[in-house]
């Protein structure tokens, strides 16, 4: 009961802070408006500040006290909200081996997320110009962004509008006493079939982006629109590797509870059978 009251009061405080920030922005900017253009600029600036600065930081503040305690069967946004399901694990020699195999299977290694690459991606989406290695936004597993990402455009132009994509995190032993220690041992047990000291395990979260633009329902930020069929995307990755005869062994962990949760976008509810397909690459 005490925990419920604290959580409710904390949510009310976050709402009040957000509403107050919106009020301050409007109060400062609105008196200067005297034309349709200036009104449009005020609304645009207000949207950008709220969606990309105020709301995300309030959510980070919220998660300082309301920490998620889930075993990471899905990755999260920088604000701590659920995003793509984790559905695949690859056993490889090292990151160079992983990248080489994915490239041979037709996947492009995603460029780093920099300001320059971000602008190039926006141009690719708007004008449908070729950019098959466009950057992927940062999602988090084990409290860190993905180590490497891959993609295949699904449009004739090879643009960033629609694509298959997957992010990978290297499974590495964390410091003793951290919350990621429990996560590490969870994965070590779940992937015991292939857990050896001679090879690395890379945990993957994959979805297909089927629309160039959608809206994150929690923050209002623009993002890609995605398919809810996460298991289908996982199987597509495996098929591309199998077609190039790059797989030596395919296993499946014991199915856990089926997952169904709301993703970042409006109308997107991810569905997964709760199992992890484990692939050993040549």
The Cα 275–Cα 259 span in angstroms is 9
**And the tokens for 215?**
């809206």
- Among 2-16, 208-222, 240-254, the least confident range: 2-16
pLDDT at 142: 82
pLDDT band, very low/low/confident/very high, at 104 (cuts 50, 70, 90): very high
CA proximity to 140, closest of 63, 225, 239 = 63
pLDDT band, very low/low/confident/very high, at 69 (cuts 50, 70, 90): very low
Percentage of the chain modeled with pLDDT above 70: 52
The yes-or-no verdict on residue 47 having pLDDT over 60 is no
pLDDT at 132: 96
User: pLDDT, tens digit, for every residue of 198-212?
Assistant: 788 899 999 888 876
> What is the residue extent of each domain of the chain?
2-65, 74-281
CA 203 to chain centre: 13
Average the pLDDT over 264-278 and give the result. Answer: 65
The Cα 44–Cα 109 span in angstroms is 34
- Which is more confidently placed, 176 or 94? 94
Rounded to the nearest integer, the mean pLDDT of the chain is 75
The yes-or-no verdict on residue 256 having pLDDT over 80 is no
Contacts of 233 (CB under 8 A, 6+ apart): 87, 164, 166, 206, 207, 208, 227
- Which is more confidently placed, 245 or 266? 245
Does the global pTM surpass 0.75? no
Contact 119, 93 (CB under 8 A): no
pLDDT at 250: 86
User: pLDDT, tens digit, for every residue of 106-153?
Assistant: 999 999 999 999 999 989 999 999 999 999 988 888 888 999 999 999
């Amino acid at each position: 009961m005490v925990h419920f009251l604290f959580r409710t009061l904390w949510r009310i405080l976050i709402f009040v802070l957000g509403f107050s920030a919106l009020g301050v922005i409007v109060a400062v900017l609105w008196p200067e408006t005297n034309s349709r253009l200036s009104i449009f600029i005020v609304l645009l600036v207000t949207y950008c500040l709220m969606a990309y600065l105020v709301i995300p930081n309030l959510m980070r503040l919220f998660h300082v006290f309301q920490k998620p305690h889930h075993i990471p069967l899905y990755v999260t946004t920088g604000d701590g909200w659920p995003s793509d399901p984790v559905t695949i694990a690859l056993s490889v020699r090292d990151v160079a081996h992983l990248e080489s195999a994915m490239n041979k299977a037709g996947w492009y290694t995603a460029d780093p997320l920099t300001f320059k690459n971000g602008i190039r991606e926006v141009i690719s989406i708007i004008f449908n110009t070729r950019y098959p290695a466009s950057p992927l936004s940062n999602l988090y597993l084990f409290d860190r962004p993905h180590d490497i990402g891959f993609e295949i455009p699904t449009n004739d132009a090879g643009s960033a509008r629609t694509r298959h994509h997957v992010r990978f995190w290297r499974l590495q032993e964390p410091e003793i006493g951290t919350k990621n220690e429990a996560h590490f041992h969870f994965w070590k047990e779940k992937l015991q079939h292939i857990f050896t000291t001679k090879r690395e395990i890379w945990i993957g979260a994959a979805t297909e982006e089927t629309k160039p633009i959608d809206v994150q329902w929690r923050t209002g930020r623009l993002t890609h629109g995605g398919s809810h069929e996460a298991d289908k995307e996982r199987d597509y990755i495996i098929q591309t590797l199998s077609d190039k005869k790059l797989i030596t062994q395919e296993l499946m962990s014991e199915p856990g509870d089926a997952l169904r949760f709301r993703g970042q976008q409006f109308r997107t509810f991810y569905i997964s059978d709760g199992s992890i397909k484990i692939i050993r690459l040549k």
